[in-house]
Amino acid sequence: MDATAACSQVRSRLLEHYSATALAASAHLTREPVSAASGAFADQATALTWLDSERANLIASVAAAAAAGDQDIATRLPVILYDYLIWRGYVDDLIAVTTIACTVAHQAGALAAEAGAWNNLGIALTEASRYDDAVTAHGRAVDLFTSLENQHERGKALNGLGSALRDSGRSAAALPIHQAALAAQKDAGDLWEQAAVLNNLSLDHQELGNVAEACAAAEQAASLFQQLGDTTCEAKALCTAAFALQAAGRSQEAHGVCERAVEAASRSAGSPRDAAAILMTCAELLTDLTPQQWIAYLLRAQAACESANAHDLHAHTLSAIGLVYIAAGDTDQAATHLTRAASMLDDFDLLTEAAEVRTLLSMLRS
Protein backbone atom coordinates (compact mmCIF):
# COMPACT_ATOMS: atom_id res chain seq x y z
CA MET A 1 0.00 0.00 0.00
CA ASP A 2 1.44 3.38 -0.95
CA ALA A 3 1.72 6.30 1.47
CA THR A 4 -1.28 8.16 0.02
CA ALA A 5 -3.61 5.20 0.46
CA ALA A 6 -2.33 4.57 3.97
CA CYS A 7 -2.87 8.20 4.90
CA SER A 8 -6.41 8.02 3.49
CA GLN A 9 -7.18 4.94 5.57
CA VAL A 10 -5.90 6.57 8.77
CA ARG A 11 -7.98 9.69 8.07
CA SER A 12 -11.10 7.62 7.43
CA ARG A 13 -10.65 5.68 10.69
CA LEU A 14 -10.10 8.91 12.64
CA LEU A 15 -13.20 10.55 11.15
CA GLU A 16 -15.30 7.47 11.86
CA HIS A 17 -13.98 7.40 15.44
CA TYR A 18 -14.98 11.02 16.00
CA SER A 19 -18.39 10.43 14.45
CA ALA A 20 -19.14 7.32 16.52
CA THR A 21 -17.89 8.81 19.78
CA ALA A 22 -19.75 12.08 19.21
CA LEU A 23 -22.93 10.07 18.60
CA ALA A 24 -22.47 8.27 21.92
CA ALA A 25 -21.85 11.56 23.75
CA SER A 26 -24.73 13.41 22.10
CA ALA A 27 -27.15 10.66 23.10
CA HIS A 28 -26.93 12.03 26.66
CA LEU A 29 -28.25 15.44 25.54
CA THR A 30 -31.45 14.54 23.72
CA ARG A 31 -34.97 14.14 25.04
CA GLU A 32 -34.94 10.48 23.96
CA PRO A 33 -34.03 7.74 26.48
CA VAL A 34 -30.28 7.14 26.58
CA SER A 35 -29.52 4.18 24.31
CA ALA A 36 -26.98 1.41 24.58
CA ALA A 37 -24.89 3.23 21.98
CA SER A 38 -24.15 5.91 24.57
CA GLY A 39 -22.30 3.45 26.79
CA ALA A 40 -18.91 5.04 26.12
CA PHE A 41 -19.94 7.74 28.61
CA ALA A 42 -21.20 7.14 32.12
CA ASP A 43 -23.42 10.20 32.27
CA GLN A 44 -24.22 13.59 30.80
CA ALA A 45 -21.37 15.35 32.60
CA THR A 46 -18.70 13.05 31.19
CA ALA A 47 -20.25 13.26 27.73
CA LEU A 48 -20.18 17.06 27.83
CA THR A 49 -16.59 17.07 29.09
CA TRP A 50 -15.49 15.01 26.09
CA LEU A 51 -17.48 17.12 23.63
CA ASP A 52 -16.05 20.34 25.09
CA SER A 53 -12.48 19.03 24.92
CA GLU A 54 -12.88 17.77 21.34
CA ARG A 55 -15.06 20.54 19.94
CA ALA A 56 -12.36 22.09 17.75
CA ASN A 57 -11.40 18.68 16.32
CA LEU A 58 -15.02 17.74 15.73
CA ILE A 59 -15.71 20.96 13.83
CA ALA A 60 -12.52 20.51 11.81
CA SER A 61 -13.52 16.91 11.05
CA VAL A 62 -16.56 18.09 9.09
CA ALA A 63 -14.44 20.27 6.82
CA ALA A 64 -11.83 17.49 6.54
CA ALA A 65 -14.48 14.96 5.52
CA ALA A 66 -15.86 17.33 2.88
CA ALA A 67 -12.35 17.97 1.49
CA ALA A 68 -11.66 14.22 1.36
CA GLY A 69 -14.92 13.52 -0.47
CA ASP A 70 -16.39 11.61 2.48
CA GLN A 71 -20.01 12.56 1.89
CA ASP A 72 -21.35 10.36 4.69
CA ILE A 73 -19.31 11.92 7.51
CA ALA A 74 -19.62 15.45 6.09
CA THR A 75 -23.42 15.25 6.18
CA ARG A 76 -23.87 12.96 9.21
CA LEU A 77 -21.51 14.56 11.74
CA PRO A 78 -23.21 17.99 11.66
CA VAL A 79 -26.51 16.27 12.53
CA ILE A 80 -24.82 14.42 15.40
CA LEU A 81 -23.28 17.68 16.70
CA TYR A 82 -26.53 19.67 16.43
CA ASP A 83 -27.80 19.00 19.98
CA TYR A 84 -24.42 19.70 21.57
CA LEU A 85 -23.79 22.94 19.67
CA ILE A 86 -27.30 24.21 20.48
CA TRP A 87 -26.86 23.09 24.12
CA ARG A 88 -23.65 25.10 24.53
CA GLY A 89 -24.76 28.00 22.34
CA TYR A 90 -21.98 27.56 19.75
CA VAL A 91 -24.18 28.93 16.98
CA ASP A 92 -21.35 30.05 14.71
CA ASP A 93 -19.91 26.53 14.74
CA LEU A 94 -23.33 25.08 13.96
CA ILE A 95 -23.76 27.47 11.03
CA ALA A 96 -20.30 26.54 9.71
CA VAL A 97 -20.71 22.75 9.82
CA THR A 98 -24.31 22.77 8.62
CA THR A 99 -23.45 25.01 5.67
CA ILE A 100 -20.84 22.42 4.66
CA ALA A 101 -23.48 19.68 4.97
CA CYS A 102 -25.88 21.61 2.72
CA THR A 103 -23.21 21.99 0.03
CA VAL A 104 -21.97 18.39 0.17
CA ALA A 105 -25.48 16.90 0.16
CA HIS A 106 -26.53 19.11 -2.76
CA GLN A 107 -23.47 18.11 -4.80
CA ALA A 108 -24.17 14.46 -4.09
CA GLY A 109 -27.86 14.73 -4.95
CA ALA A 110 -28.78 13.48 -1.47
CA LEU A 111 -32.07 15.35 -1.20
CA ALA A 112 -33.17 14.08 2.21
CA ALA A 113 -29.83 14.94 3.81
CA GLU A 114 -29.82 18.32 2.09
CA ALA A 115 -33.36 19.10 3.28
CA GLY A 116 -32.47 18.24 6.87
CA ALA A 117 -29.30 20.31 6.69
CA TRP A 118 -31.16 23.35 5.38
CA ASN A 119 -33.69 23.03 8.21
CA ASN A 120 -30.96 22.81 10.86
CA LEU A 121 -29.17 25.74 9.24
CA GLY A 122 -32.38 27.77 9.45
CA ILE A 123 -32.62 27.07 13.19
CA ALA A 124 -28.98 28.09 13.70
CA LEU A 125 -29.44 31.29 11.70
CA THR A 126 -32.52 32.17 13.75
CA GLU A 127 -30.48 31.65 16.93
CA ALA A 128 -27.90 34.06 15.47
CA SER A 129 -30.67 36.64 14.75
CA ARG A 130 -30.01 36.34 11.00
CA TYR A 131 -33.71 36.12 10.30
CA ASP A 132 -33.80 36.81 6.56
CA ASP A 133 -31.16 34.14 5.95
CA ALA A 134 -33.11 31.79 8.23
CA VAL A 135 -36.30 32.35 6.21
CA THR A 136 -34.39 31.45 3.04
CA ALA A 137 -32.90 28.31 4.59
CA HIS A 138 -36.20 27.06 6.01
CA GLY A 139 -37.94 27.85 2.74
CA ARG A 140 -35.41 25.68 0.91
CA ALA A 141 -36.04 22.87 3.41
CA VAL A 142 -39.81 23.15 2.93
CA ASP A 143 -39.42 22.91 -0.85
CA LEU A 144 -37.15 19.86 -0.64
CA PHE A 145 -39.33 18.00 1.86
CA THR A 146 -42.36 18.80 -0.31
CA SER A 147 -40.61 17.30 -3.34
CA LEU A 148 -39.80 14.22 -1.25
CA GLU A 149 -43.45 14.01 -0.12
CA ASN A 150 -42.28 13.86 3.50
CA GLN A 151 -45.07 15.73 5.25
CA HIS A 152 -43.78 15.08 8.77
CA GLU A 153 -40.39 16.69 8.11
CA ARG A 154 -42.06 19.35 6.00
CA GLY A 155 -44.12 20.25 9.08
CA LYS A 156 -40.91 20.72 11.10
CA ALA A 157 -39.48 22.97 8.41
CA LEU A 158 -42.70 24.99 8.32
CA ASN A 159 -42.49 25.43 12.09
CA GLY A 160 -38.97 26.82 11.74
CA LEU A 161 -40.00 29.05 8.85
CA GLY A 162 -42.86 30.52 10.86
CA SER A 163 -40.57 31.22 13.82
CA ALA A 164 -38.03 32.99 11.63
CA LEU A 165 -40.79 35.11 10.08
CA ARG A 166 -42.19 36.06 13.50
CA ASP A 167 -38.78 36.88 14.91
CA SER A 168 -38.16 39.15 11.92
CA GLY A 169 -41.33 41.09 12.78
CA ARG A 170 -43.68 39.34 10.33
CA SER A 171 -46.10 37.67 12.74
CA ALA A 172 -49.07 38.00 10.37
CA ALA A 173 -47.16 35.94 7.80
CA ALA A 174 -45.98 33.47 10.46
CA LEU A 175 -49.46 32.59 11.72
CA PRO A 176 -50.75 30.66 8.64
CA ILE A 177 -47.36 28.96 8.27
CA HIS A 178 -47.59 27.66 11.83
CA GLN A 179 -51.20 26.62 11.30
CA ALA A 180 -50.08 24.56 8.29
CA ALA A 181 -47.27 23.05 10.40
CA LEU A 182 -49.77 22.05 13.08
CA ALA A 183 -52.01 20.37 10.51
CA ALA A 184 -49.03 18.42 9.14
CA GLN A 185 -48.03 17.18 12.61
CA LYS A 186 -51.59 16.21 13.46
CA ASP A 187 -51.66 14.12 10.29
CA ALA A 188 -48.34 12.57 11.33
CA GLY A 189 -49.57 11.93 14.88
CA ASP A 190 -46.44 13.52 16.38
CA LEU A 191 -47.56 14.95 19.74
CA TRP A 192 -44.19 16.52 20.59
CA GLU A 193 -44.06 18.45 17.33
CA GLN A 194 -47.70 19.48 17.79
CA ALA A 195 -46.80 20.92 21.18
CA ALA A 196 -43.81 22.77 19.71
CA VAL A 197 -45.99 24.32 17.01
CA LEU A 198 -48.71 25.24 19.51
CA ASN A 199 -46.13 27.11 21.58
CA ASN A 200 -45.12 29.06 18.48
CA LEU A 201 -48.75 29.71 17.58
CA SER A 202 -49.23 31.23 21.04
CA LEU A 203 -46.28 33.56 20.43
CA ASP A 204 -47.73 34.55 17.04
CA HIS A 205 -51.12 35.32 18.60
CA GLN A 206 -49.46 37.34 21.37
CA GLU A 207 -47.63 39.48 18.81
CA LEU A 208 -50.91 40.00 16.93
CA GLY A 209 -52.89 40.86 20.07
CA ASN A 210 -55.06 37.73 19.95
CA VAL A 211 -54.97 37.17 23.70
CA ALA A 212 -57.56 34.41 24.06
CA GLU A 213 -56.05 32.36 21.23
CA ALA A 214 -52.57 32.87 22.70
CA CYS A 215 -53.66 31.57 26.11
CA ALA A 216 -55.40 28.54 24.66
CA ALA A 217 -52.49 27.52 22.42
CA ALA A 218 -49.89 27.86 25.18
CA GLU A 219 -51.98 25.89 27.66
CA GLN A 220 -52.40 23.10 25.09
CA ALA A 221 -48.66 23.07 24.46
CA ALA A 222 -47.80 22.85 28.17
CA SER A 223 -50.34 20.07 28.68
CA LEU A 224 -48.91 18.00 25.83
CA PHE A 225 -45.31 18.45 26.99
CA GLN A 226 -46.35 17.42 30.51
CA GLN A 227 -48.11 14.36 29.09
CA LEU A 228 -44.91 13.47 27.20
CA GLY A 229 -42.70 13.98 30.26
CA ASP A 230 -40.60 16.75 28.68
CA THR A 231 -40.14 19.03 31.70
CA THR A 232 -37.86 21.53 29.95
CA CYS A 233 -40.30 22.21 27.12
CA GLU A 234 -43.19 22.11 29.58
CA ALA A 235 -41.51 24.91 31.55
CA LYS A 236 -40.89 26.93 28.37
CA ALA A 237 -44.52 26.53 27.29
CA LEU A 238 -45.67 27.56 30.76
CA CYS A 239 -43.60 30.74 30.42
CA THR A 240 -45.35 31.41 27.11
CA ALA A 241 -48.69 30.81 28.83
CA ALA A 242 -47.75 33.16 31.67
CA PHE A 243 -47.02 35.99 29.23
CA ALA A 244 -50.35 35.36 27.50
CA LEU A 245 -52.22 35.37 30.82
CA GLN A 246 -50.47 38.58 31.87
CA ALA A 247 -51.52 40.23 28.60
CA ALA A 248 -55.08 39.07 29.29
CA GLY A 249 -55.03 40.83 32.66
CA ARG A 250 -55.00 37.53 34.57
CA SER A 251 -51.99 38.36 36.74
CA GLN A 252 -52.73 35.93 39.57
CA GLU A 253 -53.01 33.04 37.13
CA ALA A 254 -49.80 34.17 35.43
CA HIS A 255 -48.06 34.15 38.80
CA GLY A 256 -49.18 30.58 39.48
CA VAL A 257 -48.09 29.43 36.02
CA CYS A 258 -44.64 30.99 36.57
CA GLU A 259 -44.25 29.04 39.78
CA ARG A 260 -45.18 25.86 37.90
CA ALA A 261 -42.57 26.73 35.23
CA VAL A 262 -39.81 27.15 37.81
CA GLU A 263 -40.80 23.88 39.48
CA ALA A 264 -40.79 22.03 36.14
CA ALA A 265 -37.41 23.55 35.23
CA SER A 266 -35.96 22.39 38.54
CA ARG A 267 -36.83 18.80 37.59
CA SER A 268 -35.33 19.09 34.12
CA ALA A 269 -31.98 17.84 32.90
CA GLY A 270 -32.21 20.21 29.96
CA SER A 271 -29.66 22.72 28.77
CA PRO A 272 -28.49 25.58 31.01
CA ARG A 273 -29.48 28.01 28.27
CA ASP A 274 -33.11 26.90 28.56
CA ALA A 275 -32.91 27.14 32.35
CA ALA A 276 -31.56 30.70 32.09
CA ALA A 277 -34.34 31.78 29.72
CA ILE A 278 -37.02 30.26 31.99
CA LEU A 279 -35.64 31.97 35.09
CA MET A 280 -35.32 35.30 33.28
CA THR A 281 -38.93 35.07 32.08
CA CYS A 282 -40.26 34.26 35.54
CA ALA A 283 -38.23 37.04 37.14
CA GLU A 284 -39.77 39.46 34.63
CA LEU A 285 -43.32 38.29 35.25
CA LEU A 286 -43.30 37.81 39.03
CA THR A 287 -43.77 41.49 39.76
CA ASP A 288 -44.56 41.06 43.45
CA LEU A 289 -41.13 39.69 44.35
CA THR A 290 -38.91 41.52 46.81
CA PRO A 291 -35.61 42.85 45.40
CA GLN A 292 -33.79 40.03 47.21
CA GLN A 293 -36.05 37.40 45.61
CA TRP A 294 -35.62 38.99 42.18
CA ILE A 295 -31.85 39.01 42.54
CA ALA A 296 -31.88 35.37 43.65
CA TYR A 297 -33.77 34.39 40.47
CA LEU A 298 -31.46 36.44 38.30
CA LEU A 299 -28.27 35.15 39.90
CA ARG A 300 -29.45 31.60 39.17
CA ALA A 301 -30.10 32.71 35.58
CA GLN A 302 -26.63 34.27 35.42
CA ALA A 303 -24.99 31.03 36.55
CA ALA A 304 -26.95 29.10 33.93
CA CYS A 305 -25.91 31.59 31.24
CA GLU A 306 -22.25 31.14 32.13
CA SER A 307 -22.62 27.35 32.00
CA ALA A 308 -24.41 27.53 28.64
CA ASN A 309 -21.99 29.97 26.99
CA ALA A 310 -25.11 32.14 26.45
CA HIS A 311 -23.40 35.51 26.24
CA ASP A 312 -26.41 37.41 24.92
CA LEU A 313 -28.69 36.17 27.69
CA HIS A 314 -25.88 36.78 30.19
CA ALA A 315 -25.71 40.44 29.18
CA HIS A 316 -29.46 40.84 29.57
CA THR A 317 -29.33 39.10 32.94
CA LEU A 318 -26.62 41.48 34.16
CA SER A 319 -28.71 44.43 32.98
CA ALA A 320 -31.76 43.11 34.80
CA ILE A 321 -29.74 42.61 38.01
CA GLY A 322 -28.53 46.19 37.71
CA LEU A 323 -32.10 47.46 37.43
CA VAL A 324 -33.13 45.54 40.56
CA TYR A 325 -30.20 46.99 42.49
CA ILE A 326 -31.31 50.47 41.39
CA ALA A 327 -34.77 49.74 42.79
CA ALA A 328 -33.16 48.47 46.01
CA GLY A 329 -31.09 51.66 46.32
CA ASP A 330 -27.70 49.92 45.95
CA THR A 331 -26.12 52.13 43.29
CA ASP A 332 -22.63 50.62 43.58
CA GLN A 333 -23.83 47.11 42.77
CA ALA A 334 -26.12 48.52 40.07
CA ALA A 335 -23.20 50.32 38.40
CA THR A 336 -21.01 47.20 38.54
CA HIS A 337 -23.58 44.99 36.82
CA LEU A 338 -24.68 47.60 34.28
CA THR A 339 -21.07 48.31 33.28
CA ARG A 340 -20.46 44.60 32.60
CA ALA A 341 -23.75 44.38 30.70
CA ALA A 342 -22.88 47.35 28.46
CA SER A 343 -19.48 45.87 27.66
CA MET A 344 -20.96 42.49 26.72
CA LEU A 345 -23.68 44.11 24.59
CA ASP A 346 -20.97 46.05 22.75
CA ASP A 347 -19.12 42.80 22.07
CA PHE A 348 -22.24 41.40 20.36
CA ASP A 349 -22.93 44.59 18.38
CA LEU A 350 -26.18 45.16 20.30
CA LEU A 351 -25.34 48.84 20.24
CA THR A 352 -28.82 50.25 20.85
CA GLU A 353 -29.24 48.16 23.99
CA ALA A 354 -25.70 49.04 25.12
CA ALA A 355 -26.51 52.73 24.71
CA GLU A 356 -29.67 52.34 26.81
CA VAL A 357 -27.63 50.71 29.59
CA ARG A 358 -25.05 53.50 29.44
CA THR A 359 -27.83 56.07 29.73
CA LEU A 360 -28.84 54.40 32.99
CA LEU A 361 -25.23 54.45 34.14
CA SER A 362 -24.90 58.17 33.41
CA MET A 363 -28.08 58.85 35.39
CA LEU A 364 -26.66 56.90 38.34
CA ARG A 365 -23.44 58.88 38.30
CA SER A 366 -25.00 62.32 37.84
The conformational region for residue 149 under phi > 0 = left, psi -120 to 50 = alpha, else beta, is left
- How many domains, in total, are found in the chain? 1
**What's the half-sphere exposure (Cβ side, CA atoms, 13 Å) at 199?**
22
- pLDDT value at 79 more than 70: yes
Q: Using CA atoms, how far apart are residues 178 and 175, in angstroms rounded to an integer?
A: 5
In a domain, 314, yes or no: yes
In a domain, 216, yes or no: no
In a domain, 26, yes or no: no
In a domain, 97, yes or no: no
What pLDDT does residue 269 have?
65
Provide the H-helix boundaries in 27-70: 44-67
Question: Where is mean pLDDT largest: 12-21, 77-86, 311-320?
Answer: 77-86
33 or 25, higher pLDDT: 25
In a domain, 153, yes or no: no
- pLDDT value at 227 more than 70: yes
What pLDDT does residue 135 have?
97
In a domain, 296, yes or no: yes
**CA distance readout (Å), 271 to 3, 30, 45, 93, 278:** 45, 10, 12, 17, 11
Backbone phi and psi for residue 296, each to the nearest 5 degrees, phi listed first: -60, -45
What pLDDT does residue 97 have?
98
Whole-model pTM: value is: 0.82
What pLDDT does residue 5 have?
64
Q: Which domain holds residue 315?
A: 273-366
In a domain, 19, yes or no: no
Once rounded to an integer, what is the mean pLDDT over residues 316-327? 86
User: What's the whole-number average pLDDT of the chain?
Assistant: 88
Cα–chain center distance at 315: 17
What pLDDT does residue 6 have?
64
User: Each residue of 255-291: pLDDT tens digit?
Assistant: 888 888 878 877 766 677 777 778 777 777 776 778 8
Give the CATH number of the domain where residue 308 resides: 1.25.40.10
* Lowest-pLDDT choice from 59-68, 96-105, 352-361: 352-361
In a domain, 307, yes or no: yes
> What percent of the chain is modeled with pLDDT above 70?
94
